[in-house]
Amino acid sequence: MSQTCAGPHHCIATARAVTDILFRSLRARCASNGGKLSLSDLERFYPDFIGSLSAGFEMFELGHQRCMDASASLAEKPFARGVILATLLRACGERSARRAFSIQIEHCGPEWTHQFFEDFAHYIRTRMRTNVDLRLIDAYVDVATIPKTEMSVGELLKHESIQVVLRECLVPLEEPGAFESVSKQLCDFVNELGARARAIGEAHISKITDDQTRSFLSLLSREFRLVLNNRSATPQPHAMLV
């Protein structure tokens, strides 16, 4: 089997695929308008097409993967499906985790923090009524289509569509009268997933405690709002994270 070569042809292939989709969409619009498209029709078509790009996210992801494979890149993919939620939760809560779980991080290293936020993201999914990953991917694509955008976690956090989803992630963690039960659920959930991933038994330094989880959630609420308000175009008053 021949080895895939690195090069701009991967981007060209994606551009060709998008062009094909564009012309199919234009043909369909033209047919529905009796075989004609006016300038005003095209002006209306443009935002509709841009808004539909998130539907092709799998195609973009496959193109990106081919490019990564061809260049033998081992770089992380923080905005991939199934990963973007953990990436953004970490950006809004890493200080809290470092404070609450300092023992685990000191003994197990940075990989523990990475695993924790992956597990935390899984927990959030179980508490949300909507597909949080799909909503974040839709918002990510919207940001990516903005001209001259240099994509980064910080750039994403500036946008209201991303912030709305992240703020909703806090809601199930802050249900009135549910703090103790949520803390216990999260602690057990993270420990169970961590034990599977690390193939460990009952007692292990990587496991977290109920007290640590309560501390994390208390700190997280303040850090979350601090980070999002600082990124927002119109910051709101907030309490300092101390």
Are 126 and 182 contained in the same domain? Answer: yes
Buried b (16+ CB within 10 A) or exposed e, 162-174: bbebbeebbeebe
Residue 57 belongs to domain spanning: 9-70
Tell me what pLDDT residue 66 has.
75
In-domain check, residue 238: no
pLDDT tens-place string over residues 199-219: 887 788 999 999 999 999 999
More confident residue, 236 or 95: 95
Lowest mean pLDDT among 45-49, 117-121, 185-189: 45-49
Are 93 and 165 contained in the same domain? Answer: yes
User: Are the CB atoms for 228 and 166 separated by under 8 Å?
Assistant: yes
In-domain check, residue 78: no
In-domain check, residue 130: yes
pLDDT tens-place string over residues 222-232: 999 999 998 86
**Residue 73 confidence class, pLDDT cut points 50, 70, 90:** low
**Residue 6 confidence class, pLDDT cut points 50, 70, 90:** low
For residue 74, pLDDT beyond 70: no
Are 57 and 142 contained in the same domain? Answer: no
Tell me what pLDDT residue 91 has.
95
State pTM to two decimals: 0.75
More confident residue, 232 or 191: 191
For residue 233, pLDDT beyond 80: no
Tell me what pLDDT residue 198 has.
83
In-domain check, residue 139: yes
Lowest mean pLDDT among 4-8, 106-110, 157-161, 188-192: 4-8
Q: Is the dihedral of CA 158, 159, 162, 167 positive or negative?
A: positive
Q: Could you give the number of structural domains in the chain? A: 2
User: What does the CA dihedral 151, 229, 88, 179 come to, rounded to 10 degrees?
Assistant: -170
Are 43 and 121 contained in the same domain? Answer: no
In-domain check, residue 239: no
Are 60 and 94 contained in the same domain? Answer: no
Tell me what pLDDT residue 14 has.
74
Are 178 and 142 contained in the same domain? Answer: yes
Are 128 and 213 contained in the same domain? Answer: yes
